[in-house]
Amino acid sequence: MTDFQDPKDHLFALVQTALSQVAPDLTDVSFVVERPKQAAHGDYACNVAMQLTRVLRRNPRELAQAVVAALPESSLVVKTEIAGAGFINFFLTPAARYQVVRQVQQMGERFGRCEYGARKKVQVEFVSANPTGPLHVGHGRGAAYGASLAAVLDFAGYKVQKEYYVNDAGRQMDILAVSTWLRYLSLFGIDVPFPKNGYQGDYVREMAKQVKDAHGDRYVHQPWTVLEGVPAADEDAEGHLDGLIANAKKLLGDDWHYIHNFALNEQLGDGRNDLAEFGVHFDNWYSERSLFDSGLVERAIDQLEVNGHLYMQDGAKWFRSTRFGDEKDRVVQRENGLYTYFASDIAYHQNKFERGFHKVINVWGADHHGYIPRVKGALTALNFDPEKLDIALVQFANLIRDGKQVSMSTRSGEFVTLRELRGEVGNDAARFFYVLRKSEQHLDFDLDLAKSQSNDNPVYYIQYAHARICRVLEEWTGVASDFAEARLELLGNEHEAAILRRLCDFSVTIENAAREYAPHVVAFYLKDLAADFHSYYNAERFLVDDVELSLARLALIDAVRQTMVNGLRLLGVSAPDKM
């Protein structure tokens, strides 16, 4: 069985060998072998001569001559030429060009996998939305990006763990619980004015109704007790809310935990289902509360204390993050003795690092960027290498309806949920739209455009190519095993050459996507591959009288089909047989 080697890697090795002869003393010359933009410049080009020029101060074309002269013989290379400023252009044999089809045939759904990640453990933490209401379209982008990124990293040879950090310990959860309780009270005609900064959504009323159905009037208390000692809402809105929470805890006792946990589990379960339907799955759900229960928060803060990075001021305990480049120091324990969110986050990241990942990747909304220095600072203070933490910032998705931006706030209840979006445009379009641009680019999600099932939607373009291939193969009377006999040397026209090149670039694309944390390059690759195919489809017929030629072409488009399946799977998009 032939062992396939990527021509690019092969050429790289050839050049390295030649380089060791031309400049034996130079060990760290960086150069690349890559696809030239123009086919006339060969199958691959190498810039090694220009790189050498920098060090040796010699004419690049002369250096290129020397490198070419020192190149070992290769059965894959037909000829080399020196062009432009000193590029070495390689022209491959037909066999070298079409071997990729054999590779696809043998690898099947594993085609495109590479060893770039060397089985190193990485963690991707994403979404991690507060379980205080339905996921909205902003979360959707993080979900689609994180899931695709994780899939790409896995395909590139990493061992990937996908994690969701559950913020189940904070004030936001208390607000949700008290909101649910107030709606519950109103079901009994007990009218406590609902605070503006409570959770307004209908799902809160839903939960209230469920509590009533299950437990009747068990949690009913009179309005004056609910409001006792609570600051007026119009004077101190936050204090008002905190007062309501305090009274709820006092009046309900242990029952408070029931309502709190009920609301938490309802929302968490809802989010989990929503994400699962979206094709987004997690390996681990990590509870913030467990950090407190197990003493990890205390331990992390103690460790910082021992390492001499904390001090007291105004009754609060501060972390001296300015020592690590943060713009100001941060409170980890408040005057009232409660730990801040930052404190549990320190413990969480300490725990992540202790789990032994080569890389820890956090997918965050871009509005959290100011948070990076303090987290990295805390890791440094705990004697970890902050370089192991990568933050992938994802810009928010603006929602556009009727040409106007829709405001999105969970509390206002006016958001469009991820579930609604999926229902309107479908999972495939949603997943694809979300990753179609670089994560750090703003995304205007035009609902009207996405909803209109027009041909503007690029996902159809790719799926259509796949469906067309399936249709052709359906018409064909042979079986897949026949492809092994295909005479691929018959593939010679420019469309076929373009597709062979494209197929060969798939693994490089995966590598780039993994290195840059950029699943969008896979999306663009698939668009290009689909374009190559559609063009071919219109120029040639596959089911022709010449049986040999027909078989070769079918083998080629079957390889395209497989590559599309593999690529679409990374993006969480289906590959339908017919449309």
Partner RNA sequence: CUGCCCGUAGCUCAACCGGAUAGAGCAACGGCCUUCUAAGCCGUAGGUUACAGGUUCGAUUCCUGUCGGGCAGGCCA
CB of 338 to RNA, least distance (A): 7
CB of 473 to RNA, least distance (A): 8
**Nearer of residues 171 and 281 to RNA, judged by Cβ:** 171
Length of the chain: 579
The alpha helices in 505-577, defined as continuous H runs, are 506-515, 520-539, 547-571
CB of 184 to RNA, least distance (A): 23
**Nearer of residues 2 and 538 to RNA, judged by Cβ:** 538
**Nearer of residues 183 and 466 to RNA, judged by Cβ:** 466
Closest alpha carbon to 351 in 148, 170, 125, 118: 125
**Nearer of residues 354 and 494 to RNA, judged by Cβ:** 494
CB of 314 to RNA, least distance (A): 3
CB of 452 to RNA, least distance (A): 11
CB of 529 to RNA, least distance (A): 11
CB of 500 to RNA, least distance (A): 16
**Nearer of residues 171 and 257 to RNA, judged by Cβ:** 171
Residue type, 403: G
Helix, strand and coil content of the chain, in percent to the nearest 5, comes to 55, 15, 30
Pairwise CA distance, residues 378 & 381, whole Å? 5
**Nearer of residues 76 and 220 to RNA, judged by Cβ:** 76
Give CA angle at 152 (151, 155), nearest 5°. Answer: 90
What residues have CB less than 8 Å from 159, skipping those under 6 apart? 117, 119, 120, 121, 122
Torsion of CA 114, 115, 121, 124, to 10 degrees: -30
Most distant pair of Cα atoms in the chain: their distance: 94
Phi, psi of 47 (to 5 degrees): -105, 20
Pairwise CA distance, residues 144 & 403, whole Å? 24
CB count in 10 Å sphere of residue 578 = 10
Pairwise CA distance, residues 114 & 343, whole Å? 39
Pairwise CA distance, residues 191 & 172, whole Å? 23
**Nearer of residues 219 and 433 to RNA, judged by Cβ:** 433
**Nearer of residues 69 and 366 to RNA, judged by Cβ:** 366
**Nearer of residues 171 and 250 to RNA, judged by Cβ:** 171
Pairwise CA distance, residues 415 & 140, whole Å? 13
Closest alpha carbon to 393 in 371, 417, 416, 421: 371
CB count in 10 Å sphere of residue 307 = 12
CB of 221 to RNA, least distance (A): 25
CB of 82 to RNA, least distance (A): 9
CB of 262 to RNA, least distance (A): 18
CB of 465 to RNA, least distance (A): 8
E strand or H helix at 265: helix 254-277
**Nearer of residues 272 and 501 to RNA, judged by Cβ:** 501
Phi, psi of 163 (to 5 degrees): -130, 145
**Quick check: helix, strand or coil at residue 526?**
helix
- 111 near 563, Cβ under 8 Å? yes
**Nearer of residues 306 and 312 to RNA, judged by Cβ:** 312
